Amino acid sequence: MVLDAWPVIEHYDGNDPAASEVRHLLRRPYGPRPVINAVNFAEICYSLANRYGTNAAERESQTLQAVLRIEPPGSRTALVASWIKHTYEMSLGDTFAAATAIRHGVELWTGDAELLCPDRVWAVHDLRHPDKLATPTPRRRPGRLEHLDEPQLGAFIAAPLARLHPRRLGPAIEHS
C-alpha cells in the first residue's frame, strides 16, 4: 500500500480508526514496508514540528524512516501528479500521493476528502471513522477532460507511466 500523510498525522494525534490501523501497520514484523512519497513524508515532518516541536519531529521522522519506504518523487511520478493536479481540485501533496499509488498499482491509504472523491481514478482504503463519513464531493475541475469517461481518464493520467511500466498499471486505474 501507499500511505498519504493524513493517516500518519492522525496516528500521531491519536485519532481512531486511522491511528490504530497505522499503528498496527508500522509495527508489523513481516511483509513489505508501506510506501510513502517523499513529498508526503515532508508534510508529516512539518506537521509534527508544528504540533509537537522540532525535537519530536526529528525523533519521529527517524522512526518513520526505519519502517516506511520513502520514495523520491521521480520525474515519471511528477508527470502523473501534474496531470492529476490539472484534472482535479486538490493540493500538490495529495497529487503525489495519488500518483505514487497509481505508479505502484495499489491502494492509497487515506482519509483526506480530496483523495476520496467519487470521480477519482486511483484505488483507496478509507481510514475515516464511520461516524465522521461525509459524502465525498466530486473534485474534477469543470471543463477539464470532461470528454473522457472514467476508464479513459484513468488511462490518460496513467499514460506517462504506462509507456514505461505497462504491467504495473492495470489495477491502479480501477475504482475501489
Question: How does pLDDT run across 35-66, given as a tens digit for each residue?
Answer: 999 999 999 999 999 999 999 999 999 999 99
CATH number at residue 168: 3.40.50.1010
pTM for the full model?
A: 0.79
Following DSSP, what letter does each residue of 106-128 receive, concatenated? SPEEE--TTTT-TT-SS-EEE-S
Question: How does pLDDT run across 5-24, given as a tens digit for each residue?
Answer: 999 999 999 988 899 999 99
For the chain, the domain total comes to 1
**Set of cell numbers at residue 43:** 508534510
The DSSP secondary-structure symbol of 7 reads H
Range of the structural domain that residue 164 is part of: 2-173
Q: What is the Cα–Cα distance from 28 to 97, expressed in whole angstroms?
A: 22
Burial of 142 (0-12, 13-18, 19+ CB in 10 A): exposed
End-to-end C-alpha distance for the chain, whole angstroms: 14
The DSSP secondary-structure symbol of 25 reads H
